[in-house]
Amino acid sequence: MKTVKDYIRTIVDFPHEGILFRDVTTLFADPRGFRMAVDQMLHPYAGQRIDVVVGLEARGFILGGAIAHQLGTGFVPIRKKGKLPGRTISQEYKLEYGEAIVEIHEDALQAGQRVLIVDDLLATGGTAEAGIRLVERLGGVITGCAFIVDLPDLGGRKRLESLGMDVHALCAFEGL
């Protein structure tokens, strides 16, 4: 029987030489694999109150929309700077080479809403931490952070857990 990890292809030297890119688009393209991933991402949170699913740009939108649909909740995107049309709040974070900024609409969440943060891959945890900071600034209560892939050698899980986050990933790829 196939696992979620079996549906993910590895592309060598993308986007730079020496990188093993974990491509989840092959998982999304397969109806069984995609359903399996969504179901398994939801499983740890069964029975918990989740009011809103927040997806991190961009593959987190694909997962977050499907998960929100299954939960019967709303979906809120966290996007790169300048991509949302309304009034936003922003959070800067560090990348491997440089910095980036993500944003959320300032009226996207109500204080006290319970939020599940979703993305495809957890590497260094920078984007996820920026998303956490935005949700918390709006008064959201984070129930967990769910990912398909964890790259443990890059330390993202430890980073998020040090913030008190419950982190769930469906599979891990060791090494870079």
> Looking at the annotation, which residues are catalytic?
59, 96
Q: Token digits for 139?
A: 């008064």
Please state, in angstroms and rounded to a whole number, the distance separating the CA atoms of residues 129 and 27: 25
Nearest to 126 by CA among 90, 74, 91: 91
Please state, in angstroms and rounded to a whole number, the distance separating the CA atoms of residues 143 and 140: 9
Contact predicate 18/176, CB 8 Å: yes
- Bridge partners (DSSP) of residue 23 are 9
